[in-house]
Structure 1
């Protein structure tokens, strides 16, 4: 369509049922009697909300259009707020979000997907074995945390299968806080980091994320597949995000993901997520693409001088190059 206008769809057309006599108006109700709720889960167009410690199921009011409502949102609700079975309230407003954690399907996908809202801590759960650690996935999550304004926390699981030292050395220059767990040990340190905060847990399938949640919040009963009682190995089978109250805060468990696209984050902000490389990048000439062999690139000089870890530089460069269409190396 010319002029940059988007195609119309059914949400752009308001049709009044036949026989109605009330004239249409552009003035929307203010819903001054609406009550505040907290979205704890989303399931096929229904929103589980907490209203003064009372669970309420709601649907989205048509007047909100196509805007998304996600776990962690603070919303305004009207209608039946009793929470009784088979009752349904309406979400009439989504309050301003303090933070938004997003991802895309891949690094060239223009469609952003909001994962959660209003979190203040991103807990990156990574197994030390079975599956093996994925530093590049961790790097992506760290970039996303910086972009969303969330404090990162690295949670390393299955330390009974492999030690954490090698992986921790990779991130020593970032000074990212971390906790290490093995089976049901290390939970006290993790609990202390989670208490009083709204933390979103994210990780690849099988790293033991939902197993952790079940240990921290036994009533959660998050689904895991065939966990071996000796090794703690299991396949993550959770399919939806859910917020669970925990020691004055919230734990938001999310489904395991295979990829964490960053198409919505600018190249400069991707670089900002690698704080341990910031000093070298600052020495680059204006417009430097940060590719290997780029004239005057401070990353090459840092590696040559032994100041920068080659793996970290390679990870940044892969991430930047993956944003080019047809590149699937990240």
Structure 2
């Protein structure tokens, strides 16, 4: 039987079998020994054998993992560093879209975090979508102006607004939702999937664990009338940061497409840091061809990638309230 992994909990994998209509038809599985050290993550397409009835106490085995179309990774936070260095974690597999949820106020938008998510999305070849919540409290002009050169797709969300535009962008796709605490992501998930709390509870019961702040869970979106078919949203409440130590320097630069052309006149092997005497990025920004805040953010990420910065994407010193840029 072919299936889709919707949750992972302490060596148990909750899967929805292909061809089933609702999340009630879920199977609990373990990883077969022949897979060796291959990890199974939310979003994986897998082959299962054994008891796939989904009955209480039934346990199937995952014997094959299909080739992944995309892998969204992050490097672990500083407090998860081991003697071998920072751990690299796979967030989800086979996602089509990364939905970056950011409030326009209370809390203010953190463009440093958004920049990190964009780099991670581009590195994984996943399309980004900016979802700006609490649009009733502040306008989007400052944030959108910051990303003007990227032509970044976005949606505005108010408490009383319909979600038709967002639903249309999610339909028929596997979308990962990330965002800091307090931005309204959970509220948004519950509006998109009214049975989300019940679905998460079912996953927890099957996995004999609980949906914690460090777990991810895939939720099937209700089919919209005349829509393109079911989509999935993967809620990632534990992804509070995107460490980028696993991203190469070249991939990091391509997360800032508005700066790439400015490196044409750089000498070979230019590190693009502020201390690089002949880096062309400073002249590029001075000529008005890119926002200086974007260059500053890029260089902060360079420093963080080298282990000198904060993986949370906050440009401000610790203890100060975050602001745009």
TM-score by length of 1: 0.81
**1:73 Cα deviation after fit:** 0.3
In structure 1, what is the equivalent of residue 207 of structure 2? none
**1:242 Cα deviation after fit:** 1.1
SS at match of 2:195: helix
Structure 1 residues 55, 258: closer, same or farther in 2, change over 3 A? closer
In structure 2, what is the equivalent of residue 167 of structure 1? 143
- Provide the aligned C-alpha RMSD in A: 2.1
User: How do 1:163-242 and structure 2 match up within 5 A?
Assistant: 163-221=139-197, 238-242=213-217
Structure 1 residues 222, 276: closer, same or farther in 2, change over 3 A? farther
SS at match of 2:218: strand
Equivalent residues of 2:107, 2:182 under 8 A apart: yes
Distance (Å, rounded) in 1 between the aligned partners of 2:220 and 2:307? 41
In structure 2, what is the equivalent of residue 262 of structure 1? 244
Distance (Å, rounded) in 2 between the aligned partners of 1:261 and 1:318? 12
Structure 1 residues 121, 194: closer, same or farther in 2, change over 3 A? same
Equivalent residues of 1:110, 1:264 under 8 A apart: no
- 1:129 pairs with 80, 105, 110, which one? 105
In structure 1, what is the equivalent of residue 122 of structure 2? 146
Equivalent residues of 2:215, 2:238 under 8 A apart: no
Equivalent residues of 2:118, 2:128 under 8 A apart: yes
Distance (Å, rounded) in 1 between the aligned partners of 2:197 and 2:187? 9
Equivalent residues of 1:179, 1:186 under 8 A apart: no
Equivalent residues of 1:77, 1:92 under 8 A apart: yes
SS at match of 1:206: coil
**1:283 Cα deviation after fit:** 2.5
Q: Please say if 1:284 is aligned against 2:260.
A: no
Gaps of 5+ in 2: 200-211, 224-229, 314-325
SS at match of 1:154: strand
Deviation string, structure 1 residues 34-78 (Cα, Å, up to 9, x no partner)? x11110111221111011313111111122223211111001101
Deviation string, structure 1 residues 227-282 (Cα, Å, up to 9, x no partner)? xxxxxxxxxx7542111112322111111433210111101100011001111122
Equivalent residues of 2:245, 2:306 under 8 A apart: no
Distance (Å, rounded) in 2 between the aligned partners of 1:190 and 1:258? 22
Q: Which moved more, 1:289-298 or 1:300-309?
A: 289-298
SS at match of 1:196: coil
Deviation string, structure 1 residues 7-36 (Cα, Å, up to 9, x no partner)? xxxxxxxxxxxxxxxxxxxxxxxxxxxx11
Distance (Å, rounded) in 2 between the aligned partners of 1:286 and 1:154? 34
Q: Please say if 1:37 is aligned against 2:7.
A: no
Gaps of 5+ in 1: 1-34, 224-236
Equivalent residues of 1:241, 1:252 under 8 A apart: yes
SS at match of 1:122: strand
Of structures 1 and 2, the larger Rg is shown by 1
Q: Please say if 1:83 is aligned against 2:54.
A: yes
Q: Please say if 1:275 is aligned against 2:268.
A: no
Number of matched residues? 285
TM-score by length of 2: 0.83
Q: Please say if 1:296 is aligned against 2:278.
A: yes
Structure 1 residues 328, 42: closer, same or farther in 2, change over 3 A? closer
In structure 2, what is the equivalent of residue 120 of structure 1? 96
Equivalent residues of 1:299, 1:308 under 8 A apart: no
